[in-house]
Amino acid sequence: MLRITTENCREFAKIKLEGKLAGAWVDEVEQTWNTLASDRSLKPIMVDLCDVTFIDAKGKKFLRQMCGEGAVFRCCGPDITATVEEAKRSLGTGG
């Protein structure tokens, strides 16, 4: 299960995820991402992963896509942080 919360501030749009970024839930996040990405005024989108407990292969692939589209990530645990850094490296965006 995954809980998805959005917030639209003056400085950024935010997607907060809580739970497992896996399976069909990745499609839900992608839909949310696409809605925010199409609706923003060149604001960055921050993806808060602090309460994510697991990311499967489909979720990792979508993280790479979000990286490529300019997402800014907030991570708290070592496993999720390492997963995000791996996604950034795969695109050559550093870490």
* pLDDT tens string 60-88: 999 999 999 999 999 998 999 999 999 98
| Range 35-42 average pLDDT | 77
> Given a cut of 90, is residue 92 above it in pLDDT?
no
Task: Say if residue 93's pLDDT is above 60.
Answer: no
Taken in order 85, 63, 19, 57, the sign of the CA dihedral is negative
Candidates 3.40.190.170, 3.40.50.620, 3.30.750.24, 3.40.50.2300; correct CATH number of 2-91? 3.30.750.24
d(C-alpha 90, C-alpha 82), whole Å? 12
Kindly list the domain boundaries of the chain, sorted by start residue: 2-91
Confidence grade of residue 33 (pLDDT, cut at 50, 70, 90): very high
Residue 54, pLDDT above cutoff 60 = yes
The Cα 9–Cα 56 span in angstroms is 29
